[in-house]
Amino acid sequence: MYLLPPNPQFYRREANRWETYLCRCFRTSYVSLCVLDVDVVSGLQVMRALLVLVLGLTVSMKSGQGARLRGASVRLDLDPSVMPQIGRAASTIANMSLSPWTYRESRVESRLPRQIFHAVCLTSGCLSLQGGAENAGLEAKPIYHQVLVLHKISKQRPGTRRRKWYSLRLGTEVISVGCTCVRPSVVPQPPRAALF
């Protein structure tokens, strides 16, 4: 993460850079209009883009340029061609780990990204370094990470039957990204009272 300097031109320039990076936009006199057409987006990229765009709008409003934006909506077009590809590196790490895992797909049509993969540990214990047998002295536990997602909420525009409108609500989701070896948690029991 980097710190942004307190310069209004920088925020506008940075917002335009992110808009160019993530969006194919059509400008009007009020707002920048974009169309959503992506299945898989990174929550971190969505968060960065939204934060930088909001910073740009905030700076514009403070300087008196964005007074007409009240009540307007902005539609995003997140371009999947700029997304980094995870590829085989993730599966190689998962197979080489002492607590191997595989990925399970979670698909929700009203969520962006629609498809998110969760790591599932393949063993309850960790593999030993010598022979690959399970070591009962250690446990395999998932590593969790919180990501930003957008939830699509369907709206019917008054007076129209054919066209549906959607609004996006920013939310979070906790996903498992891998597995690691941990020592078992031991809860000590209080000493028993003497029965005699």
Give the confidence band of 21 by pLDDT, cuts at 50, 70, 90: very low
pLDDT one-digit tens code per residue, 111-153:
989 999 999 999 999 999 887 789 888 999 999 999 999 999 8
Q: Which of 185, 176, 150 minimizes the C-alpha distance to 49?
A: 150
Whether 3 shows a pLDDT value over 60: the answer reads no
H-only helix segments in the chain: 8-22, 43-62, 88-96
Percent of residues, the chain, with pLDDT higher than 70: 48
pLDDT of residue 171: 94
Residues 168 and 155: beta-carbon distance below 8 Å: no
pLDDT, the chain, mean: 70
pLDDT one-digit tens code per residue, 23-76:
433 333 333 333 333 333 445 555 566 555 555 554 444 445 444 545 556 666
pLDDT of residue 51: 59
Whether 83 shows a pLDDT value over 80: the answer reads no
Residues 107 and 188: beta-carbon distance below 8 Å: no
pLDDT of residue 123: 94
User: E strand or H helix at 157, and its extent?
Assistant: none
pLDDT of residue 140: 95
pLDDT of residue 104: 95
Whether 186 shows a pLDDT value over 50: the answer reads yes
pLDDT of residue 125: 92
Q: Name the CATH architecture for the domain at 85-182.
A: Ribbon (2.10)
Residues 45 and 7: beta-carbon distance below 8 Å: no
pLDDT one-digit tens code per residue, 157-168:
666 666 677 788
pLDDT of residue 167: 85
